[in-house]
Structure 1
Amino acid sequence: MDAGSSAPTVRRAATRGRPRKLTVEAIVAATRTLLADHAPADVTFARVACSLGVPGSSVYNYFPNRDALFAAVAAELFASFAFDDPGDDVPWQMRLRTWLAAIDRFFDQNPMAFRLMATSSQASPAWVHVRMPLLQVLRALGFEGRDLALIHAWFEGQVTGLLLVESHAGRNRLIAGEPPQVPIDMNDEAECAELDRRSHLPSIRREEIVKLGFDALVSELERQVADRC
């Protein structure tokens, strides 16, 4: 990916004084800021350069394309992932739950990470290191080859999907709990049931849903392991 030809032209800074110094760190920081509010497809080199007050072409002196830039942003972001690994001496469920708790905290604090898990169509090298404990647990349980790839893809997809939905769902639950705009037919059983369900949504905490999801995943993995014996 690279900057679109239709991107707005960035004006050069005034000739008085020294030109603004551009660094890899400054470009990465500006890109992180933009990704907090924009989809990756909308974060062009021109937009990054504009936020830094430099010509659009200057970013190419540091990164050949957006994939390389996003990879650098992902490497910096995922490097902050902290996992206090209890090691192989504890039950695999405990090690997995410790990793899940760390993943939950990380995405809750860094929602933009969802946008950086993959560069192009492949997993970001930085994300590969973050998810390595999951792969290690599955290998220790005896999964290998295609079975390993299948269970890993299922488990990771369920975890990240759950956390992605919950990163937006809290606000929606508050809105859903507000009085309906359209009058409810109290003689309609379905409408009454829906009204009652919605009335409880604001009291549901993100942590409750995440725990239910993680419990279900670990239980299903336990079943998969038992079926292999």
Structure 2
Amino acid sequence: MLSKVSNRFLAITILAIFVIALVGIISNKSLENSKLTSTEVQKNSSVPVSEQVSKTEGLKGYLQVMVVDSKTGLPVEGANVVFSNLDQLYTTGKDGKTQIIPMQIKVSESSKILSQPYEEVVIGVFKQGYADYILMGSKVRSTTQDKPQLKIIRIVKASTPTTAPVFAMEKYSADVAKEVMNKMKEKLNFLANTSQEVEEIEITE
């Protein structure tokens, strides 16, 4: 009977020692993590707040849309213009132009083709008596307010109230196309000059 009690006491003592050791290990790990976190905060705090904010902010582009009649070339007043990335309606004036519209441009760090970032949006133009017009892939580049990017959209008069809408895709400019071509050629030359190991796999039936 005495030996049974001694064995139980020994087992409980060993278990208690194990639990105390485990708690000590967990406490040390928590302390190390807290020290590491505080060190990282101190490193980040050494960077000025203005620089941290500037890294997260996108560039800004200023855009103005001018709507003209496709046949006469005259400005169209009262055309409604909407953008896929903005929750606001814009209307053209007597000169066929909207107001200057600011837009945020998201900088993609993963892009290795174009050096100049841009925001790609869809522009819709709606005017009674004209076919609905949708411009897809419209590229808004980084500009200043005093030199906004002007996009001229030519809308077609509707022959009937149910005239099919006009869909268009904006093309790259010649400069951008040339830049893309040069970057792709550089990549081609790099890949062509890089030695690649060929792995031979033997297939047995």
Q: TM range, normalised to the smaller chain?
A: under 0.3
Larger Rg: 2
The answer to which structure has the higher strand fraction is 2
Greater length-normalized contact order (CA 8 Å, ≥ 6 residues apart): 2
